[in-house]
Chains A and B, each alone.
Chain A
Amino acid sequence: MFYREAGDFRTTYAEDQQTFPIKFDRYRYYVVLFIAIFVIPFIINDYWANSLLLPFLIYAIAALGLNILVGYCGQVSLGTGGFMAVGAYSCYKFMTGVDIWWGGELLFRLPEFNIFFSVIMGGVMTAAVGVLFGLPSLRIKGFYLAVATLAAQFFLVWLFNRVAWFYNYSASGQISAPEREFMGALITGPSTTPWATYLFCLFFTIVSAVIARNMTRGASGRKWMAIRDMDIAAEIIGVNPLKAKLTAFMVSSFFIGISGALFFAVYLGAVEVGEAFGITKSFLVLFMIIIGGLGSIFGSFAGAAFLVLLPVALKVVGVDWFGWPTDIVAHLQLVVVGGLIVIFLIAEPHGIAQLWRVAKEKLRLWPFPH
């Protein structure tokens, strides 16, 4: 009744090709954007920003990136944590001024980049590293590729732990983000305001989502999907697998790098590579896109929301409402999240995004389903 396309006429090709061809979807999208940009910044507080919204936005970017690689191009990757670490450490080096040494002497030092461009550079460096680790994908497939990217994960974490240059020779091997501002508002450091960090991350999330959406429905996305569905057939119809796979690795790593940079600089402020970007992070992001929906932009958001918000919600219910011991709740969390993953995989293997699609389908017919 409410959600329908009847009477929604399109008269130009541009209208036909827009992202949300159904009017209701389009307005809903505008409302969500309006609330996210013009309402939430005015009501947000520290708890909301740091415990829920920042991790959600940042993980959503990581999930978008991984979804391009796994969901759209079909290349399984377990290196997400390592790629996020590349983003974080590049961002750190660029925001503190990259120093180049040769033979024990300082050759030159780049000026400190603005935090905005540091984050972008985090993405760019990660894209380069991603292409490098994507090269084996031309020869190996499936599980074997997963193992190769697993090697990237361990190698990158080891590298950032081992080479003191990456953490500016600090005694503890931690990197901490110094105070930086963007357009007059503090973005990193302790004295940030929640609305500033939120808007900063929101900007990257929206831009990433728009780019990802448009890439995946354009020529490059179709090539990725062709490779995913059957690479030999794709090659026969003229898709260059080298180009397709490497661009998928590049774009995917770019987003993952951006999310790693934001994760370090804006959200946590200080990270230690083994703890923050370990193998568990790779699995977490992979679970996000599996639960959210492989090959779906909305699925990336839904999966990130699910895995970021659910543990917090369970904690609030268990500890704050029922007063259960914290360790019981923590164990329960693992059981519930694990159980839900299994249930999802059995009941709806295509994830939350598919549930959403089915719901929309039903809504179109409601209240007269045949």
Chain B
Amino acid sequence: MKYKLGTLAVAAMMAAAPAMADLVFPSLSYRTGPYAAGGIPFADGYADYFTMLNARDGGIGGVMTSVPECETGYNTEKGVECYESLKGGGGLVYQPLSTGITYQLIPKTTADDIPMHTMGYGRTSAKNGDVFSHTFNYPANYWDGASGAINYLLKENGGDLKGKKIALVYHNSAYGKEPIRTLQELSEKHGFEFKEVPVDHPGQEQKSQWLQIRRDKPDYVIMYGWGVMNQVAVQEAANIRFPMENFIGIWWSGSENDVLAAGDAADGYKALTFHGVGDDFPVFDDIQKYVVDAGKAAGAGDQIGTVLYNRGLYAAMLAAEAVKTAQEIHGVAEINAAQMRDGMEALSITEEKMAALGLPNFGPAFDVSCSNHGGDGLVGVTQWDASTKTWSLISDFSATDVDVVGPLIAEDSAAYAAENKIEPQC
């Protein structure tokens, strides 16, 4: 018992207050563990964008930014610890980059009046801002992804998917299970046959799943995977000679890490996206000039221009724009988390704004409102070219099926509201 108290006392002294900065964007990153390959580029992009803003513009609205990092290892317990330890530092917005941690933080952030942005992951029904006051998932969510994939396939097939077989290979976790309901509804609506193929964490062993796919011969395979599961799936698909152009991954299954391992066999693999790919945008010149050349790049600095780096950068850009909006609304430069929430809720991303930021056509234009925290759910499709080792956008950001996704979101958020006795805020 003495030992315990002694340790506690030591830890007490160690839990000193983190350094205070003006605009704090905590980064719950994971640079270690089974999902590090995805976590590193995202965290790098997120940090580099704010470093660039500091060096180029002197912060946002004249206030410097800081990005304290906390390693979660994609682990929910560490995520809670990180959230609590960074909370004291006045974080403006949390981006946990993990659906598991998101579920934990939705009620916590609401109680603490801190907004959370779960860009393209987390709880889909958080789009309903009426119920989820402090959670935002613009510009697109998992159900938009499922609908976007089906819409793309509809377009490919001249608007008719009757009698087709579509299989969903998914990470058997909260994240992977998300699209099932949507795809079931869509299969009824469009008359295709839908089949679920779960893969258990971490997904290194998928022989039996792909054997099943080889036997069932689906016309298309949609994948909701993350981390090593993606690489293995692409390799297994190549092994059974599944046509890559009929294999579509969600945006978390569409980075360089996922296809490089399979080499030429991965050529033609497709993935959904909600932001631009490549480094052919003016903002990358500034990143090069102010961040890389100045030796301030986060991590190893070798991820610039990769898909997930761009996603981190995009998340940072959206956060920075929300700060600007909040600064306008409240007329103060040093905003707090509650004001940040108002800024996120009034966020409006237009083509002109993106072009002015050096990111022309980088993502869809969208508006956030009190009742809509998810944007318009526009989803594009990218394809991998193994010879040049690049992703390219092959289908522009286009609308998803609101008639199917909308009622599902209303239903799920109503259940959450009833369970937790939440009054609508709008």
Residues of A within 8 A of B (CB): 28-29, 32, 35, 46-48, 50-52, 55-56, 161, 171-174, 176, 178-179, 189-191, 267-272, 274-276, 278, 298, 301-302, 305-306, 309, 312-313, 315-317, 319-321, 325-327, 329-331, 352, 356
Q: What is the bound-complex CA distance between A189 and B10, given in angstroms?
A: 30
Beta-carbon contact of A331 and B32 below 8 Å: yes
Which residues in B have their C-beta under 8 angstroms from that of A315?
A: 71
Given A55-B77, A321-B14, 20 more contacts at CB 8 Å? Answer: A46-B84, A47-B84, A48-B15, A50-B80, A50-B84, A52-B11, A161-B172, A171-B124, A173-B174, A174-B103, A179-B420, A189-B107, A189-B420, A267-B80, A272-B100, A274-B200, A275-B76, A306-B7, A313-B7, A317-B14
Beta-carbon contact of A330 and B85 below 8 Å: no
Scoring B residues 149 to 187 as 1 if CB is less than 8 Å from chain A, else 0, what string do you get?
Answer: 000000000000000000000001111011011000000
Q: Is B231 an interface residue (CB 8 A)?
A: no
Beta-carbon contact of A326 and B81 below 8 Å: no
Cβ-closest chain B residue relative to A306: B7
Complex partner residue of B173 from A178, A272, A302, CB under 8 angstroms: A272
Which residues in B have their C-beta under 8 angstroms from that of A316?
A: 11, 14-16
- Knowing A179-B420, A275-B173, say if A268 contacts B104 (CB, 8 Å): yes
Q: What's the least CB distance linking A257 to chain B, in Å?
A: 19
Q: What's the least CB distance linking B2 to chain A, in Å?
A: 7
Complex partner residue of A270 from B3, B4, B81, B104, CB under 8 angstroms: B104
Q: What's the least CB distance linking A287 to chain B, in Å?
A: 15
CB contacts between A and B, total, < 8 Å: 145
Which residues in A have their C-beta under 8 angstroms from that of B178?
A: 171-172
Q: What's the least CB distance linking A40 to chain B, in Å?
A: 9
Q: Is B123 an interface residue (CB 8 A)?
A: yes
Beta-carbon contact of B32 and A191 below 8 Å: no
Q: What is the bound-complex CA distance between A271 and B2, given in angstroms?
A: 33
Complex partner residue of A320 from B16, B71, B103, B181, CB under 8 angstroms: B16
Beta-carbon contact of A275 and B32 below 8 Å: no
- Knowing A47-B88, A50-B81, A312-B11, say if A172 contacts B174 (CB, 8 Å): yes
Provide 13 A-B residue pairs closer than 8 Å at the C-beta atoms, listed in order of the A residue. A47-B85, A48-B12, A189-B107, A190-B108, A270-B100, A272-B174, A274-B173, A301-B4, A316-B11, A317-B14, A321-B14, A326-B31, A356-B3
Beta-carbon contact of A276 and B8 below 8 Å: no
Instruction: List the 5 shortest-distance A-B pairs measured between CB atoms, nearest first.
Output: A190-B107, A327-B31, A172-B174, A316-B14, A190-B111
Q: Is B219 an interface residue (CB 8 A)?
A: no
Q: What is the bound-complex CA distance between A321 and B19, given in angstroms?
A: 10
Cβ-closest chain A residue relative to B179: A171
Which residues in B have their C-beta under 8 angstroms from that of A330?
A: 31-32, 71, 73
Which residues in B have their C-beta under 8 angstroms from that of A327?
A: 31-32, 36, 40, 71, 299
Complex partner residue of B4 from A173, A190, A275, A302, CB under 8 angstroms: A302
Q: What is the bound-complex CA distance between A298 and B80, given in angstroms?
A: 27
Beta-carbon contact of A271 and B177 below 8 Å: no
- Knowing A52-B11, A174-B103, A275-B100, say if A301 contacts B1 (CB, 8 Å): yes
Q: What is the bound-complex CA distance between A275 and B84, given in angstroms?
A: 20
Which residues in B have their C-beta under 8 angstroms from that of A172?
A: 99, 103, 123, 174-175, 177-178
Q: What's the least CB distance linking B248 to chain A, in Å?
A: 21
- Knowing A176-B103, A276-B76, A305-B4, say if A171 contacts B15 (CB, 8 Å): no
Q: Is B401 an interface residue (CB 8 A)?
A: no
Cβ-closest chain A residue relative to B124: A171
Q: Which of B62-117 contact A (CB under 8 A)?
A: 69-71, 73, 75-77, 80-81, 84-85, 87-88, 99-100, 103-104, 107-108, 110-111
Which residues in A have their C-beta under 8 angstroms from that of B124?
A: 171
Q: What is the bound-complex CA distance between A306 and B178, given in angstroms?
A: 37
Beta-carbon contact of A302 and B5 below 8 Å: no
Which residues in A have their C-beta under 8 angstroms from that of B70?
A: 319, 326
